Structure 1
Amino acid sequence: MQISIVIPLLNEQESLIELHDWIAGVMQSNHFVYEIIFIDDGSTDASWRTITELSTKNNNVKGIRFLKNFGKSQALHAGFKAAQGEVVITMDADLQDNPEEIPGLYKLIKEDGNHIVSGWKKKRYDSIITKNIPSKLFNWAARRTSGVKLHDFNCGLKAFKNEVVKNIEVSGDMHRYIPVLAKNAGFSKITEKVVQHQARKYGSTKFGAERFINGFLDLITIWFVSKFGRQPMHLFGALGVLMFIIGFAFSLYLGIDKLYLNPTGRLITERPEFYIALTAMLLGTQLFLAGFLGEIMVRSRKNDTRYTISNKINV
């Protein structure tokens, strides 16, 4: 199979038929062998019924339905697990991503040898205050922190080699940082393509301003995990040793001062340096133990299921 199109969705019933027909038309005109995988992330409208009806008309349509809303990252994880195409393309279900971009994305993967092609919505039709400005700030921070030089981390329209999606773990709210996760896994051929952005035709966005706050927090998390996730002792152990050395140095100073320099002075416990030394040594011990426990958890953790599937179609 050439292309798998993975589409996570939440309450997008109105757009699904139009989106399917548009994608199917593009696939047929380019003679692609394809599959469309809809992941219903706990919709409360008739989205799943629509997906079921589409699957009866088109055998290339597949569906995965979550028991409740688990989030976009978990939906993408399920879609990636089911995808069989040589090239996997993700897009949103709200018709803001243009299916006409699919052939160009496919070519950049198959012919140019890229691991990932990320869409860049250079011209947007979103609110300047609530989306455009925060998005530019977020993307700047993501570039500086991750080292991945993309203009638009939030664009849902992306293309991947199959081996990329099969070898990365998308969890929490990390869907924004799939290129960063891929880079950390060794898939370094990442480029971007300017894509057409369209105004939302039906319904309203499912993401509020809080997604940018969560995005920055996730950015800190992924920076930490990429640098110290495999060996947390390198961070916590180093900080613990540093704090312990600081505390020991203060203790040594207090001991020498009391024994040789000022034996008739104040008691050691009456001096502020004593409490600095005690606090530093306790913190050092705790940080070292945190690193040690982190190493044990990393080595003993098992893959856990982060979502519950209630129905499947053709998967």
Structure 2
Amino acid sequence: MDISIVVPLYNEEESLPELTDWIAKVMTQHHFTYELLYVDDGSTDNSWAIIEDLRRENDHVKGIKFRRNYGKSAALNVAFDAAQGDVVITMDADLQDSPDEIPELYRKIKEEKYDLVSGWKKKRYDPITKTIPTKLFNAATRKMSGIQLNDFNCGLKAYRNDVVKTIEVYGEMHRYIPVIAKWAGFKNIGEQVVEHRARKYGVTKFGMSRFINGFLDLLSIFFVGKFGKRPMHFFGSMGVLSFLLGTLIALYMIGVKLYHIAANTPYKREITDQPMFYIALVAIILGSQLFLTGFVAELVTRNAPERNQYLIEKEIL
């Protein structure tokens, strides 16, 4: 099978028939073999009933329905597991992503050998309250990940099949799938300018809280990707530095007091009356706690079943 088209959705009953017909038209024009996999993320409208009707009319349509709303990441993760096409393409169900972009995305994967191609909605029809925070998060993600993409959160993306079978998307990490793919060893990541269409039906399902959650998810994925299998390198290093800083301050204060005693000169304040004493004490305690945290995290990591799961691309045995 050439293409698996994955469409996560939540309360998008109006757009599904039009989207299905549009995708079928593009697939027929380019002679692609395909499957269209809808993932109903606990919709409360008639979305699932419409998917069942579409299935009776079109054998390419498949569907997965969640019992309740789990989020876009969960929908993508389940769909990735079920996808069978050589190239997997994700898009939103609200008709803001154009199926006409699919052939070029497919070509980039098959002919230019990209692992992942992300869409870039260069001209957007979103309000300024959404576009400005999006640009800030894209800039922060580029800086932290080293991946030079302009639009990490674009729903229109294409993947080689082995990419989606390797990565795991959870929480709200769908925003950072290119980062997850890079940490998994898929570094050939490209970008394609795609059309962003104005929303035709319904309303957006994401509020302002997604920007806070997105920043926290970025920190999480950066830390897990870099130190997930060696937490002692992070916590231990920070702990040792803090402990040494506190110890050096304490030794300095003791040395100064001993000097005054030896020189028989007046010593203005006791060590415990000085702010530096408490700074040193906090640094020593914090350093000890960070080191112990790293030690415990290392024990947990070493006993995790996936501690030695590595991605092998090729073998000659």
Please, what TM-score do these two structures have when normalized by structure 1? 0.90
Distance 1:47 1:300, change over 3 A: farther
From 292, 297, 304, the counterpart of 2:295 = 292
What residue in structure 2 maps to residue 92 of structure 1?
Answer: 92
What residue in structure 2 maps to residue 29 of structure 1?
Answer: 29
| Unpaired stretches in structure 2, ≥5 consecutive residues | 307-317
| Unpaired stretches in structure 1, ≥5 consecutive residues | 304-315
Task: Please give the alpha-carbon distance, in whole angstroms, between the structure 2 residues aligned to 1:202 and 1:164.
Answer: 32
Task: Please give the alpha-carbon distance, in whole angstroms, between the structure 2 residues aligned to 1:255 and 1:196.
Answer: 68
What residue in structure 2 maps to residue 313 of structure 1?
Answer: none
- Give the superposition deviation at 1:260: 5.0
- State the SS of the aligned residue for 2:8: strand
What residue in structure 2 maps to residue 70 of structure 1?
Answer: 70
Task: Please give the alpha-carbon distance, in whole angstroms, between the structure 2 residues aligned to 1:28 and 1:300.
Answer: 51
What residue in structure 2 maps to residue 156 of structure 1?
Answer: 155
What residue in structure 2 maps to residue 147 of structure 1?
Answer: 146
Task: Please give the alpha-carbon distance, in whole angstroms, between the structure 1 residues aligned to 2:183 and 2:40.
Answer: 29
- Give the superposition deviation at 1:143: 1.4
- Give the superposition deviation at 1:61: 1.4
Task: Please give the alpha-carbon distance, in whole angstroms, between the structure 1 residues aligned to 2:296 and 2:69.
Answer: 32
What residue in structure 1 maps to residue 310 of structure 2?
Answer: none
- State the SS of the aligned residue for 2:201: coil
Give the letter for the 1:240 counterpart: G
- Give the superposition deviation at 1:16: 0.8
How many correspondences in the alignment?
A: 302
- State the SS of the aligned residue for 2:166: coil
Percent pairwise identity = 62
What residue in structure 2 maps to residue 235 of structure 1?
Answer: 234
Task: Name whichever of 217-226 and 240-249 sits farther off.
Answer: 217-226
Task: Please give the alpha-carbon distance, in whole angstroms, between the structure 1 residues aligned to 2:194 and 2:257.
Answer: 72
Task: Name whichever of 260-269 and 288-297 sits farther off.
Answer: 260-269
Task: Please give the alpha-carbon distance, in whole angstroms, between the structure 2 residues aligned to 1:262 and 1:245.
Answer: 26
Is residue 113 from structure 1 mapped to residue 127 from structure 2 by the alignment? no
- State the SS of the aligned residue for 1:125: coil
Give the letter for the 1:37 counterpart: L
Q: Deviations over 1:58-94 (max 9, x none)?
A: 2221111111111111110011011111100000000
Task: Name whichever of 87-96 and 166-175 sits farther off.
Answer: 166-175
Task: Please give the alpha-carbon distance, in whole angstroms, between the structure 2 residues aligned to 1:102 and 1:40.
Answer: 22
Task: Name whichever of 252-261 and 278-287 sits farther off.
Answer: 252-261
Task: Name whichever of 269-278 and 191-200 sits farther off.
Answer: 269-278
More contact order relative to length (CA 8 Å, sep ≥ 6)? 1
- State the SS of the aligned residue for 1:84: coil
Distance 1:57 1:297, change over 3 A: farther
Map 1:127-276 onto structure 2 (within 5 A). 127=127, 129-262=128-261, 265=267, 267-276=270-279
- Give the superposition deviation at 1:269: 3.3
